Structures are given as C-alpha cells and as structure tokens.
Amino acid sequence: MSLIKFFSTNGHPERVDFKRALLIGQAPDKGLYMPERIPNIPRSLIDKFPKMSYPEIAREVVKPYLGDLVSDSVLQAMLNDAYNYDVPVEKVYDEKYVLRLDRGPTCSFKDFAARLMGRLIQHFLKEDGRSILILTATSGDTGSAVAHAFFGLDNVKVVVLFPEKEVTERQRRQMTTLGKNVFPLSVEGKFDDCQALVKQAFVDSDLSALNLSSANSINIGRLLPQAVYYFFAQSRASARGEDVVFSVPSGNFGDLMGGLLAMKMGLPAQRFVVATNENDEFPRFMQTGVYEPIQPSRNCISNAMNVGRPSNLARLFCLYGGQMDETGHVSKAPDLNAMRKDLYAVSVTDEETRRTIKEAYSQYKVLLEPHGAVAWAGLLRYLKECGDYSPCISLETADPAKFPEEIVRATGIIPPLPPAMARLDELAELYDSIDGQYASLKDYLMRFV
Ligand SMILES: *Cc1c(COP(=O)(O)O)cnc(C)c1O
C-alpha cells in the first residue's frame, strides 16, 4: 500500500509525508494537516485487541500512517518506552466507565500525545542531524506535557507560552521547575492570545533560522497518538465487542479528533458526546449551523478547555466535507446532518461541573476533576435524552490533585498527590514574562538565533 500523504485544510496543493507534517507542524498556508486517506483496521484485528497491551495496540493504530519511515522494531521500542504507565478503565456503575488518562509524568492526557510525538521528532532529527525550537502555547496542560517529553534532549529547545492568570500554580510549576532546554514564558493575556502569538511567529521569516516547530494540538503528531486510547478503552470495556459511546471533554478539540479518526479507522463507536464548558461555540453551532467564536474566551474551572475558537475545528469541518480557515471563517459548510449523527454536543456550566464532582463522589466514590466532570455531566445528559443502550466511556483527562481547591470544595477531601507530582511544591521556579505584544515575543525569541 502506498504511503499516506497529508494535505492542508486550507487547500494548499502540496502533499507531504508524515515526517514533514510532524516537523513543520502547521502547513505553509496556515492550514492544518489531515491524512489524504484514512486507513482501515480490519475487524478481525480489532477483535484481538482485548488480549493486546497498550503499546501493541498503539503500533497497529499508528503504523499505517508511518509506512516505512520508522522500522517496526524502532517503533515498538518507542511505544513501549512512551506508554510505560497504567491506563485504567474504571467501572462507575453497570457498563459506565471512566477512562483515566492521567497516569503519565505530568498527570494529564496530553502525555499520551506528547510522549510519542517527542520520541518521533527526536528520531527524525537525529536521522537528519538537525535541531529545532518547539514553540507552543498552552492553556494549562500541553506546556508541561511537551516540556517533559523533550526535557534534556540536545537538539531541541522548548519555549512554552502560558496565560499568566489562567493556569493553576501546580500546572505552572510542572513547566517552570524543569530548566535546561525548557523555557517557560508567562504572557499577559489569555490562551487565545498565546496561540495567536505563536501563529504569528511561525509565519515570521526573520525567525526562520530557529527552525520553529509547533507541538500544539495543531500538529498531526499530537493527533494520531490520541486515536489509540479509544481503541484500547473499547477493547477493555466492551465485553462483546459492541459499539461504545464516548464522552470527551473538549477545548481545542484535539482529543475529539483523535476519537473521530479512530472511528473512521474502524473503532466500534456508537457516538461521541462532545462536552464543552461555558465556551459553547461548538454546541451552539450544532444547534444552529452558525459558527460564532467566543471572544474573549470564558474563564471556567476546567481551565484547559477555555478555548473560544478551537483550532481543530478546521479538521473537524474538513472531515465532514466543510472548510474553515485559521481565522475561524467557514468558506464551506460541513454536512451538519452527518455531524449530528456522530456527535452529541453539550455545554456544561461551572455550577453543574461542581455539582457533578460532588455527586460522582458521594454516589460512586469516584473522584473526578473539573475536565472529567464536564465529560461525565455531558454523558449523563446524553443518557437522559438519547436513552441507554451501549457501554459508555467518559474520559478523565487529568489527575484531581492538579485542581485541589475545586476538589476540596466539592467533596471535602484533599486529593492525594500522585508520585509524579510529589516534590513539585518544593522545587524552585524559573521563567520569563512578556506583555501580549508580538514585538515582545519576537525580542525574546531573537536571543535563540
Ligand atoms: C487539553 C485538555 C483538555 C481539552 O483537550 P482538547 O484536545 O484541547 O479538546 C481537556 N482536559 C484536560 C485536562 C486538558 O489538559
């Protein structure tokens, strides 16, 4: 079979292979890369997944996109190394599960993407004897996951922009206590501002000597690893191989795109609940067919989902035959009926999120944090409205200890600190700050030239 090529959602005629898409991140016309052809995983292979380990399933899902760019043995070693932690599928009641994606080194689901992407990038850079600067914006968890994934590598520097007032102290500490090749940068502004600054730097030719690369969820290398855990969870939760309903807490929609890619590859999935916080531009679009970004984004307690104009909607629209550019302008409407068939979108308020944390704990002794609670609340609403016919899996994307204040407030208990975060509160922090102007970011970056 021929190697899968990737095209830009903005329509640029050039097609690139996985290696190139991974290393440049964003297409030259500011579009996002999508696979030209989505490979199918045969049902006979999916039926074997219940007996396979996480890294083994990951190999089957990722390999078709890589072709022979990475040898089988190198890929399997990378996957074994990247996914050396637990992925619990925890039963809540009946066939309702919480998928805990928070056992990686930075305790958020972003470790899944960052750890494989980091290893792939490192592999390709070594092959070419090159170095790069990873420039990325974070709403809370990407920054630390990416920083940890690249920490200590010789040929990679990482600059992470974060909104100064919108990350929790522990989220910040996970980035600012590393040092070495990791440079955290606090920005006066919101996540969307950080994202806009990063995008501007990418098209600034004065910075081309830096070999900028993005590790945001706009990078296709972040997306593919996020298709894997859907297959894994389905194989563990669905005893008879039935289709599963997934509930996905969504901000920039990278997690959801991983799931939809998996579905197009053959994942036995019934439907996806797309659960947002009060940044409800997508649920409103699904109702009305009119897309209106939210500007500025609303500050909710599920802070990693405070995104008013999700980048990955460009991919989502593309998957359903539409086109959206990098400014959020829709030049071709997607097939709304097909989207409604696959997706059930809900917006969950902070009040409902807090109540959900409280009730999940008092009813089931299941400890959720704000992002996972948005998904669980979305699932409950789906079950009420659409009926209860399938096994359901709700994604829990961070460890509750990252949000101690909210957990104590809702449940009265102090979430235990996972081993990966044990010393975090004691380590010294090191980071720089800039205002929200592009000129300030540029000055800062020029020092690396
Ligand atoms: C980033 C993040 C999300 C949102 O994921 P997207 O891919 O941006 O939709 C949800 N929960 C947590 C804890 C996150 O860090």
pLDDT of residue 192: 85
The domain spans of the chain are: 87-107+220-411
DSSP string, 41-67: PPHHHHTTGGGS-HHHHHHHHHHHHHT
Does 214 score more than 80 pLDDT?
A: no
In this prediction, residues 228-257 reach a mean pLDDT of 96
Run of H or E including 433: strand 432-434
Task: Determine the Cα–Cα distance for residues 222 and 155; give it in Å rounded to an integer.
Answer: 20
Read off the amino acid at residue 102. D
> Does 251 sit in the ligand 1 pocket, CB within 6 Å?
yes
397 ligand 1 Cβ < 6 A: yes
User: Can you tell me the distance from the alpha carbon of 150 to that of 115, in angstroms, rounded to the nearest whole number?
Assistant: 8
Residue to probe by mutation, ligand 1, list 371, 394, 407, 421, most atoms within 8 Å of CB: 371
- For the CA of 257, the closest atom of ligand 1 is 7
Dump pLDDT digits (tens) for 326-361. Answer: 889 999 999 999 999 999 999 999 999 999 999 999
Rounded to whole angstroms, the Cα distance separating 84 from 275 reads 29
Q: What does the pLDDT average to over 171-188?
A: 95
- Centre of ligand 1 from the C-alpha of residue 51, in Å: 29
Q: Tell whether ligand 1 has an atom less than 6 A from the beta carbon of residue 375.
A: no
Question: Which H, E and C letters describe 148-183, residue by residue?
Answer: HHHCCCCCEEEEEEEECCCCCHHHHHHHHCCCCCEE
| CATH number for region 87-107+220-411 | 3.40.50.1100
Does the pTM surpass 0.85? The reply is: yes
Region 215-222 average pLDDT: 83
The model's confidence at residue 193, banded by pLDDT at 50, 70 and 90, is very high
Q: Give, using CA atoms, the residue closest to atom 8 of ligand 1.
A: 252
Residue 348 near residue 380 (C-beta atoms within 8 A): no
User: Using a 6 Å cutoff on CB, does residue 143 contact ligand 1?
Assistant: no
Mean of per-residue pLDDT scores for the chain: 94
Ligand 1 neighbour 55 (Cβ under 6 A)? no
